[in-house]
Amino acid sequence: MTRDGVVFTAIALAATVVWLALYRLPFRRNRTRQRIRMAVAGRTGLPSKYVFPVLGTVIYLVGGILASVVLLWAGDLGLGGLLAWHVTPHSVGLLLLTAIGASALTAFAMSTLYTVRPGIDVPGAVSSVRWITEILALPRQWRYAVPAASAVAEEFFFRGVFLGGLLATGTPVWAAIAISGAAFTIGQVLLTETALQATVLALSSVVLAVVCGLLVAVEGSVLPAIAVHASFAAYYTQTSARRAAPVAAAVPR
């Protein structure tokens, strides 16, 4: 990796840490969360069960946007280059194959996990992740929209400006995918509370990092990767909730 690549990686990692810290640390204590929940509900009239799904999503998206702006500046990247996608039958077919591949590889990873630990509850583990539990309190249509919106922010940052910035510094494709993918995976793991949650999210994150990273490298645009990740996140959040009925039923109403 070149010196520019090392400097850019350091900036990208710092931006990732600040983004996740702003999202997670202020509301880590239950007493603080309860106070904020009551204060926001009292001042806005928003039902208390919706406070953190809405507030958390806004903070996460704004943090992702700001982190992306930092990397756009640090890497001297242009939005046009990242978002330009020449849509052809070949590119659409590649997008569909990537989406199918991501689902198939994730299913294989989960099957392997079940083989190693037959008694585990993967859907329950996913549904009990705090941010997912909170999302499940939202009206049905928003349960799809919120994970998809978060995936858009993540994909633009990690496979857009992070990966694109590394490639612009001359970093080899495999190394750029590995570095940005590792940062993405670690970030997802840090949002979990148990070892099983961390394992499940780590496996699915590695799959997305590889397949979406390769898709961006081939297509030269982050848009198809955004489509894959957004659909993946919305689908698996809902599927896990349906398969873990006791967890979903425990969501505060």
**What is the model's pTM?**
0.89
Alpha-carbon gap, residue 32 to 36, rounded angstroms: 6
Q: Measure the CA–CA gap between 129 and 57, rounded to whole angstroms.
A: 15
The angle formed by the CA atoms of residues 58, 63 and 68, to the nearest 5 degrees, is 130
pLDDT of 251 higher than 70: no
Alpha-carbon radius of gyration of the chain: 18
The 10s digit of each residue's pLDDT in 71-112 is 999 999 988 889 989 899 999 999 999 999 999 999 999 999
Between 27 and 18, where is the model more confident?
A: 18
| Distance (Å, whole) CA 180 – CA 9 | 9
Integer Cα distance of 106 and 19 in angstroms: 26
